[in-house]
Structure 1
Amino acid sequence: MTTIEGSVALVTGGQRGLGRAFVHGLLSRGAAKVYATARRTVESNDPRIVPLTLDITDPDAVEAVAAQAGDVGIVVNNAGALFPGSLLKADMADVVATFETNVFGALRVARAFAPILAANGGGALVDIHSALSWGAGAAAYGASKAALWSLTNSLRIELSGQHTQVVGVHLGFADTDMVKAMKVDKLSPEQVADAVLHGVEKGESEVLVDEVSRRMKAALAGPVEGLTVTIGR
């Protein structure tokens, strides 16, 4: 269980879409300060929001941000990438870039901030997965989110000794620029952020935000054919 009121948080990809909703959700629950990272930052009129430039695929940039944000007690690993195309036909560079952001970038952030969270009492690490973590047919994006899910489960064990709450988040689609062209049902970013932050405060290790993610998780016990989705073809 992590207390948000009075806390200092950091949200990667925190100036657009879902990340911005997390920033404002944290503040509405009483966070004292939120570092909002982005590749290209925009200044905020709210003194509680501290913009930081960050490309999570750049190890030096991740370390630089960690050096500036040593007071953080909550980290939301939100930054992500989605490139269209199938595994066999997409540009291989796009597949690599997907994993660089969604897997290795998130892990870089976790590694850089784990000592900071420990020094500040444990806190919480929140990783944003997807219901597509459990579904075949989502190409590099689904595969990368499956890898992140596995990493999160291992990080939960590795960080338990320092009392860091590690929260894995699954959802279908949030209404953000990344998926604006997709004709599917979408949650508002605010709905997602509220459900996740509620889970953080309740001490949960996994948050299934919507019925889509709950159905996909339940289907893991069934045949693989029941876990097929189609995007980006």
Structure 2
Amino acid sequence: MASRTRSALLRAIEQDLDEGRLKPGDSLDEQGLASRFEVSRTPAREALLYLEAKGVVRMVPRRGAVVQDLTPTLALGMVELLTALESEAAGLAARRMVMAERQVLQQQHEAARQMAQQLDSEAYMRANSMFHNAIYEGSRNAVLIEQLRATRRRMLTYHRSSLSQPARVRDSWQEHAALLSAILAGDESGARDAMREHIQSGGRVFADLVAGQQESRP
């Protein structure tokens, strides 16, 4: 029972992170979580310790758990890690996706065209997430998928900020087109290369955002 309670807490916190309700610097405390979910403080503490071990939160004296912020150095490391993980997922998806999955990926890309043309950042963010998740699932590698989602979650706030920039939305859709073409052709090497360029392109914007926010802080 305690394990299921902790899992429910984790899912709720991760959903708050994914949907932007929790941002870097926000605090999470055991008592607040226990009250929200009507549980004892033990599963709340266990959930926070798990998130600390994953690098999602850090423990701060007199504040409790705080959603982890990113320094420019850490941001660069995260981009390099994400590049390697995403590239591998793309190559595996090009090899392993069945025809029905490739067709869904193509439909998702086409559906995002109008969002990119209209610079609808919020809608495009959702479409972008669906597109990448379809590739993850197509990789057929559960361990890789877990690492990808954990890494993406840590970068989510800044990733959302980068896709709020009109030029990045347009570029992202075009980069998806090259990636899709390689996956549809079953070109593993081409898919890895296209994904690597896509992540590195977005990563440059991401790193600049992190550096800018660090410089603006007192």
TM-score (normalizing by structure 2): 0.32
More helix by share: 2
Q: Which has the larger radius of gyration?
A: 2
Higher strand share: 1
TM-score (norm 1): 0.30
